[in-house]
Amino acid sequence: MLPRVFLESGKLKDSVLNELTHVLVLFPASLLAGGQLPQGLPGAVLLKQILGRQRKKPTALLRVGAGSGKMPQEALVPEATTLGGGLIRWLAVDPDASTFLRHQQLRQALSGLLAEQPARLDIVFHGSAGFVASAMPDAAYVAAVNRVSMPKTVAADKTTKVAGTAKSGKTGEIRLWVGARDQAFLSTSLAGVMATAEANTLTRALCVLPPNQLTPGSFRALIPAQIKGLGIRCDTYDVAQLKKIKAGAFLAVAQGSPEQDAAIVRLTYVPKVKPVKRDPKDKSATQALPYVALVGKGICFDTGGHNLKPARYMAGMHEDMAGAAIALSVIQAAARLQLPVRVDAWLALSRNDIGPGAYRQGDVVTALNGSTIEIVHTDAEGRMVLADTLTLAAAAKPDMVLDFATLTGSMTTALGNRMSGFFASQRHLGARLEEVGAAAGERLMPFVMPDDYDSALESQVADIKQCTLDGEADHILAARFLNCFVGDAAWLHLDLSAATCKGGLGAIGTDTTGFGAALTVQLLQSIAVKGLPRSSPAF
């Protein structure tokens, strides 16, 4: 699905520049400190002409943040036509700015170039080796994820397409002019970037599929092709098996669907690495691999059940499976990168339909862990399917459990769609998640979940209420509810309020953002290098 990306080590001559069709020149903002354009900047003559015509100084290429009662002033991104008729743009990059801001500026700078769906895009880096090493991954990621358009779904019997493939069958190529740099280091960095880009793209591609094309059954059917050749094992708990193990919380949601194709799917990636002995004298003592379980809510369409959603809030509910899409895409990336981390991905695939068999307000169901749940609102189905899935995931004794879900409207009310909120059972987990989120350009806000909130979930007829009808602090109550099903596992819960954002977000130019895929790949890479987060007191 992604474009082909190449590193160019040679120096870009003016004669070659004039032959290129779509070019973005990147240079460090610090080179504008003297108020003049950098020496040797590609296309400098054209850039001077543009600034002169617009009566702008070179400092107009710098972004000015908000302050002194003023709104932020975005950087100028000049555009010109080369002697050969190509389109060229320039962007001053501030390496000290947040990853989110850098990604956003790169997306905006690339948008005019990518709008023409070029067969080839050239990104030219002008600056030190350190600048190239820091800017190249950002530029490659933003260019790759925005070069691919989302699937066309005009007919259910046709395969999906991406921009520019109808005639050529290719998504084009991206050339990164990095100069005479450390090619081995940059190549390794680029491999990680492209795996992350593919994870985000797969997440978005699944999310935009309409509900008649992506059902729990068809989602399950596409999994073998996505994990083929990656050494990932797939085990499926279908409705019959879930009844046998008495996963009543999950089945309560699934029972309203006439197809009965719901399932919990477990994907397992165990890297092939040589065990490291803790004690050379003890042949049985080996260093265990870090073990992470990812759990994704996969509601392929959410009507709200008997508590039916109004049309305004039912629109877009085919994307309520974003959590499962993230879990699938991330384990795929981990296997592609051969990360030395064991990963389980648990996909809770169902629909929340309305019909004679659907669960109702007032029902009392028994979850897999034996807890009885009083159903208060049938549109709080996400926490129901996650309850039993988290129980299964935690039973495997991973070092850490991370779940993803487009779970509550109250998180969107709290944060809007520009960042997502999360809960952590321990501070060290939350600190690591914030760290990798910032590095990946996916912003996160931590929330606390004090246990006195549990009083709102006390039931007269069951062990726990599913939710309340008051609507207050539902994101916290949902976290407290899920906390009852993870046992003693170290646990992170990510409420995906930024899964969709009108006009795009950060690196991503589509309303469907794929939020969570990049930060989770970054988290697994961090664990591979640094190990698991060290323990600290609970919140």
Q: Are 434 and 324 in contact (CB under 8 A)?
A: no
Q: Does one domain contain both 166 and 280?
A: no
Structural domain of 189: 4-195
Q: Are 478 and 449 in contact (CB under 8 A)?
A: no
What's the whole-model pTM score?
0.93
Q: Does one domain contain both 424 and 526?
A: yes
The predicted structure's pLDDT at residue 152: 61
Residue 206, in any domain of the structure: no
Last residue of a domain, one of 149, 172, 195: 195
Q: Of these residues, 161, 309, 336, 418, which one is catalytic? A: 309
Domain with 454 in it: what CATH number?
3.40.630.10
Closest C-alpha among 100, 97, 95 to residue 437: 100
Domain with 150 in it: what CATH number?
3.40.220.10
Residue keyed to tokens 């690196």: 507
Q: How far apart are CA 389 and CA 266, in angstroms?
A: 9
- 123 to each of 8, 109, 175, how far by Cα in Å? 10, 11, 6
CB atoms within 10 A of CB 58: 18
Q: Does one domain contain both 249 and 146?
A: no
The predicted structure's pLDDT at residue 11: 84
Tokens of 514: 């794929």
Q: Does one domain contain both 64 and 166?
A: yes
Q: Of these residues, 89, 147, 266, 383, which one is catalytic? A: 383
Q: How far apart are CA 323 and CA 321, in angstroms?
A: 6
Residue 109, in any domain of the structure: yes
Residue 209, in any domain of the structure: no
Residue 536, in any domain of the structure: no
Tokens of 189: 């960095």
H/E stretch holding 411: helix 409-415
Q: How far apart are CA 479 and CA 447, in angstroms?
A: 10
Count, residues in the chain: 539
**Secondary structure of 434-457 in the HEC alphabet?**
HHHHHHHCCCEEEECCCHHHHHHH
Q: Does one domain contain both 92 and 231?
A: no
CB atoms within 10 A of CB 360: 12
- 213 to each of 222, 256, 390, 491, how far by Cα in Å? 11, 19, 27, 33
pLDDT digits (tens, 9 = 90+) for 435-478: 999 999 999 999 999 999 999 999 999 999 999 999 899 999 99
CA angle 74, 77, 82 (to 5 degrees): 175
Residue keyed to tokens 């400092």: 59
Tokens of 335: 């296997």
Q: How far apart are CA 495 and CA 164, in angstroms?
A: 34
Reduced to 3 states, what is the DSSP secondary structure of residue 500? strand
Measured in degrees and rounded to the nearest 5, phi and psi for residue 320 equal: -75, 5
pLDDT along the chain (539 residues), means of 10: 91 92 97 93 96 95 91 94 96 96 98 95 95 96 93 46 38 91 88 97 97 97 97 98 98 97 98 63 64 98 97 96 98 98 98 97 98 98 98 98 98 97 96 97 98 98 97 96 97 98 97 98 97 69
Q: Does one domain contain both 255 and 114?
A: no
Q: How far apart are CA 252 and CA 410, in angstroms?
A: 23
Strands annotated E in 250-362: 263-269, 291-302, 342-352
Q: Does one domain contain both 378 and 493?
A: yes
Residue 221, in any domain of the structure: no
Residue keyed to tokens 């003023």: 70
Residue 219, in any domain of the structure: no
The predicted structure's pLDDT at residue 166: 33
The predicted structure's pLDDT at residue 183: 84
Q: Does one domain contain both 109 and 239?
A: no
Reduced to 3 states, what is the DSSP secondary structure of residue 504? coil
Residue 214, in any domain of the structure: no
Q: How far apart are CA 512 and CA 52, in angstroms?
A: 39
Tokens of 201: 């793209």
| Pairing assessment for the beta strands 420-424 and 491-495 based on DSSP bridges | antiparallel
Q: Does one domain contain both 146 and 252?
A: no
Q: Does one domain contain both 117 and 243?
A: no
Reduced to 3 states, what is the DSSP secondary structure of residue 104? helix
Q: Are 349 and 242 in contact (CB under 8 A)?
A: no
Closest C-alpha among 150, 272, 292, 275 to residue 213: 150
The predicted structure's pLDDT at residue 297: 98
The 3-state DSSP composition of the chain as helix, strand, coil percent (nearest 5) reads 40, 20, 40
Tokens of 320: 């309520």
The domain total for the chain is 2
**Secondary structure of 454-476 in the HEC alphabet?**
HHHHCCCCCCEECCCCCCCCHHH
Q: What is the DSSP string of 465-526?
A: ES--SS-TTHHHHHHHHHHTTSTT--EEEEE-TTSB-TT-BTTB-SSB--TTHHHHHHHHHH
Looking at residue 30, the DSSP 8-state letter turns out to be G
Residue 185, in any domain of the structure: yes
H/E stretch holding 24: strand 22-28
Tokens of 27: 């240079």
CA dihedral 371, 372, 374, 377 (to 10 degrees): 50
Q: How far apart are CA 315 and CA 293, in angstroms?
A: 31
- Tell me the Ramachandran region of residue 129: left when phi exceeds 0, alpha when psi lies from -120 to 50, beta otherwise: alpha
Q: Does one domain contain both 190 and 231?
A: no
Q: Let me know if 309 is a catalytic residue.
A: yes
Tokens of 66: 């908000």
The predicted structure's pLDDT at residue 273: 78
CB atoms within 10 A of CB 517: 31
Q: Does one domain contain both 185 and 248?
A: no
